């Protein structure tokens, strides 16, 4: 049995995309955003256990759509209902992990074009180092700290910054205990794990793992997907 699990969080509404469907179910190519993201997960070198966290009112539909692909890839996949925040959705995914799982990757369905190789690399780095592992990219824009009135306070040294992506990977017990202890809402799992005092290392991310947030992102994803299948 696999000792690596991937939790794909797909329960967000994605209001900034301006589409009536929840973001993960928005069409992308011949598929959906979630479908493309799942294909990347199913393309991993070693088949993982997969948990899809779906919008609460779309669980049955997501299960019906995901099951045939998982079966074709000989992967065990479960679908559960998400919560009101990303953190709550991840927690619901964690609750589904089988006993034998040792490494957990958490991935945003909203990053459908993250390559399978990034999943493999993150899982391997968690296994070899025993730390949290996050893919990150150098920040190319100049970043400034700004106050509530829009006044620039200072320029932040961007050489010390990295933009975080997913999949983020953790030893299972680290992720579980960090979630059990977590208070306020965190926007990523690495912040939550780091707050619990566990080291988190950055590995090179991939430009294709960008998050689909606004309509122009969807357009870019459509183009990349078309190039990939051409």
Which of 5, 10, 103, 106 is close enough to bind ligand C5P by CB under 6 A? 10
Alpha carbons within 13 angstroms on the beta-carbon side of residue 109 total 33
How far, in Å, are 110, 140, 210 from residue 158 at the CA level? 25, 8, 19
Asked if 190 is part of the footprint of ligand C5P (rule: CB under 6 A), the reply reads no
Paired tokens of 211: 């998050």
Which of 211, 217, 220, 225 is close enough to bind ligand C5P by CB under 6 A? 211
Cβ atoms of 23 and 65 closer than 8 Å: no
* Closest separation in Å from C-beta 10 to ligand C5P: 5
Asked if 167 is part of the footprint of ligand C5P (rule: CB under 6 A), the reply reads no
Interface with ligand C5P (CB under 6 A), residue total: 18
Question: CA nearest 86: which of 76, 94, 98?
Answer: 94
Q: Cα separation of 140 and 161, whole Å?
A: 10
Identify residues 59-88 at the interface with ligand C5P (CB under 6 A). 82-86
Cβ atoms of 160 and 147 closer than 8 Å: no
* Closest separation in Å from C-beta 59 to ligand C5P: 12
Asked if 134 is part of the footprint of ligand C5P (rule: CB under 6 A), the reply reads no
In the complex, which residue's CB is closest to ligand C5P? 12
Return residues touching ligand C5P (CB under 6 A): 9-12, 23-24, 53, 82-86, 89, 108-110, 211, 213
């Amino acid at each position: 049995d696999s000792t690596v699990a991937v939790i794909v969080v797909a329960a967000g509404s994605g209001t900034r995309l301006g589409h009536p469907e929840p973001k993960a179910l928005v069409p992308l190519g011949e598929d959906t955003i979630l479908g493309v993201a799942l294909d990347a997960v199913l393309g991993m070198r070693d088949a993982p256990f997969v948990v899809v966290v779906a919008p609460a009112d779309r669980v049955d539909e997501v299960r019906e759509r995901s099951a045939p692909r998982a079966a074709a890839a000989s992967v065990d996949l479960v679908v559960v209902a998400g919560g009101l925040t990303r953190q709550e959705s991840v927690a619901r995914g964690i609750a589904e992990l089988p006993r034998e799982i040792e490494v957990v990757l958490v991935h945003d369905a909203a990053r459908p074009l993250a390559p399978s190789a990034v999943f493999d690399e993150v899982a391997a780095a968690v296994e070899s180092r025993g730390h949290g592992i996050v893919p990150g990219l150098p920040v190319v824009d100049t970043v400034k700290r700004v106050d509530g009135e829009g006044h620039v306070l200072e320029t932040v040294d961007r050489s010390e910054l990295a933009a975080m992506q997913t999949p983020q990977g953790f030893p299972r017990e680290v992720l579980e205990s960090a979630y059990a202890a977590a208070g306020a809402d965190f926007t990523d799992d690495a912040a939550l794990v780091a707050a619990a005092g566990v080291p988190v290392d950055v590995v090179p991310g991939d430009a294709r793992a960008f998050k689909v947030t606004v309509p122009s992102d969807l357009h870019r994803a459509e183009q990349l997907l078309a190039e990939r299948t051409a």
